[in-house]
Amino acid sequence: MIKHVVTFKLQGSAHERQAASEAFRKALLALPDVIDCLAAMEVGINENPAEDWDVTLIATIDTMENVAVYAAHPAHVAAAAIIAPLKEARACVDYVVAE
């Protein structure tokens, strides 16, 4: 299994960032029901105003090959479009879960 961990820094007012993060979270949490290779999705919105990053997702996907399938899936592309206008930075780590 692969853990796909992505964090986003958004630009805009606090209200704009919060609203976009909440809409993004809702869209992401619906993806396991739509994308077969996506085993689980966790999404956290930053509650600490002293930190700069806004939202993090942790997806569990069966293989690295299917990380690409997930990324290209139209439902994922639509979810990503929610924060695209505000996205300032993105960081990603994909790692194999030790069994």
Separation CA 61–CA 68 (nearest Å): 10
* pLDDT score of 72: 97
Given the structure tokens 């961990």, which residue do they identify? Answer: 5
* pLDDT score of 49: 87
The number of beta carbons lying within 10 Å of the beta carbon of residue 83 is 20
Q: Is the pLDDT of residue 81 over 80?
A: yes
Widest pairwise Cα distance in the chain = 42
Extract the tokens encoding 7. 């964090």
Q: Is the pLDDT of residue 97 over 90?
A: yes
Q: What is the average per-residue pLDDT within 50-79?
A: 96
Q: Is the pLDDT of residue 76 over 90?
A: yes
Q: What are the pLDDT digits (tens) for 26-58?
A: 999 999 999 999 999 999 999 998 999 999 999
Tell me the average pLDDT of the chain.
96
Going by C-alpha positions, the residue among 63, 56, 49, 53 that lies closest to residue 94 is 63
pTM metric for this prediction: 0.93
